[in-house]
Amino acid sequence: MGKARAARKLAAVAALGGGGAGVLGGTLVAILIAEAILAKRTIGPPDGDPPCADGIYGEGPGEPISFVVLGDSTACGLGVKEPDETPGALLATGLAALSGRPVRLTVVAKSGAETRHLDEQIDRALPVHPDLALIIIGANDVTHRTLPSESVRLLVHGVRRLRDAGAEVVVGTCPDLGTVEPLAFPLRQLARAWSRRLAAAQTIACVEAGARTVSLGSLLGPEFAAAPRELFSSDRFHPSATGYASAAVALLPSIAAALGYWPEDESDVSLSDGEILPISFAAVRAAKDAGTEVAATEVAGAERGPRGRWALLRRRRHRDVPLDERQLSPEPKSA
């Protein structure tokens, strides 16, 4: 209950535009930063820039679905060599297969981006008139001393801009940085606490703003903790091609459902099948369980209960979607 109350308070501070206090306190933040510098030396710089994956994926009748990806290095696929290994390309391919329509992918995410950079990314995304937007951001806020309340406020502002432009929005919440292998005690514990609380606050605020959220949990799935050398890239921080594929499997059902290409009925969900909770409790639960979707819902016709907005917490059953049959157009964006 304490964690749910803390996440709810942080989201409320962000909504009011206040600075708020860091969830870990000034002394612990200083420790986190100092240890992060040492960890960065161990991790080393990423191997090159992320490949450009913009283009048309799939075939079918009608206008292409306009799909934009915003956020940081995880969003743009840093750590892989080929465009079709990036999360945007994998998701565009899967969405094309499920919808029977071509998908135009535009990636405006940038390595190193913090939430304060989201506004300028949206400026570049709006001219392509997105039908669907995926945002993955927040990890760099943890290591750059951004107040969590400010990070959440900026994220919500971005979600509302995209929603006002007519886009469906899915937010992959801040991953659990406690799973990054080079991080040692106490940094790992501090990073886990900070990132999980930020993820919970992101969930509360973004669902209130009209988005769906999907928990990226232990760096996009529990498999990362079990097989870090297979699912992380050579820099030991960003996912490998296999890691991004694991992330795409977790995100695709919610991406497709946002546009009506995945069933919403409860017979298609697992976990505590379609469990309804107050948003703050759902957010804390999701932050610990990778691949969990949180979306707004109603109870007896009411959007809100005594503890805030009602939310539906669920994990969707995965289907066989041909993520490996990628069809990238040679004509980026204009086809």
Whether residue 155 has pLDDT greater than 90:
yes
Average pLDDT of the segment spanning 77-96: 92
**Residue 96 binned pLDDT confidence (cut-offs 50, 70, 90):** very high
Question: Catalytic one among 144, 157, 235, 289?
Answer: 235
215 catalytic residue (yes or no): no
The residues, ordered by sequence, that sit 6+ positions from 159 with a Cβ below 8 Å of its Cβ are 135, 169, 171, 206, 209, 210, 211
Whose tokens are 């991080």? That residue is 183
More reliable by pLDDT, 138 or 231: 138
Question: Catalytic one among 84, 149, 238, 329?
Answer: 238
73 catalytic residue (yes or no): yes
Task: Kindly report, residue by residue over 242-261, the tens digit of the pLDDT.
Answer: 778 878 888 999 999 999 99
Q: What percent of the chain has pLDDT over 90?
A: 35
Distance of alpha carbon 2 from alpha carbon 21, whole angstroms: 16
One-letter amino acid of 240 = S
Name the strand (E) or helix (H) holding 255. Answer: helix 241-258
Q: Which domains occur in the chain, in start order?
A: 2-316 (3.40.50.1110)
Q: What is the pLDDT of residue 129?
A: 98
84 catalytic residue (yes or no): no
Question: Catalytic one among 66, 73, 111, 218?
Answer: 73
